[in-house]
Amino acid sequence: MNINIKEYKRANMVTVMGRIDSATAGDFEKALIELAERGRNNIALDMSDVEFISSAGLRVLVTIRKTVQSAGGDLVIAEPSERVTDTLEIAGLDVLFTTFDDRESAIGAF
């Protein structure tokens, strides 16, 4: 798993790539918590190159969404890969996340 973070004026774009499972979810969560701790509570996640996400990855999404929303921000998803979309639907969590077809729209939403 690789993570790139780009800072925009009103939000941060976090690009996560590869496999998000129990072996990597800790690093994923740490990166997002660090943003929230700096007060960067508007987060757009580019998940176009996520090849696998297990329930451990879903737990990070749900937990961070709650953290940033309670601070007045939001966590949205940009360009989810088919596998991300499938996993969210299978777990019944797809209704929780606003998704955008492209990165610009996701950042523009804030």
Q: Name the site residues for another protein (rule: CB under 8 A).
A: 19, 21-23, 52, 54-56, 58-59, 62-63, 66, 82-83, 86-87, 90-93, 95-96
Nearest to 41 by CA among 110, 94, 104: 110
Q: Could you tell me the smallest distance in angstroms from the CB atom of residue 69 to another protein?
A: 9
State which residue, 99 or 103, has the beta carbon closest to another protein: 99
Listed residue (40, 21, 22) closest to 32, CA to CA: 40
Q: How many CB atoms lie within 10 A of CB 66?
A: 12
Q: How far is the CB of 61 from another protein (least distance, A)?
A: 10
Name which of 56 and 109 has its Cβ closer to another protein. Answer: 56
Say how many CA atoms lie within 13 Å of 31 toward its Cβ.
Answer: 20
CB of 73 vs another protein, minimal distance in Å? 15
Local structure of residue 110 (DSSP, 8 states): -
Q: C-beta of 7: minimal distance to another protein in Å? A: 28
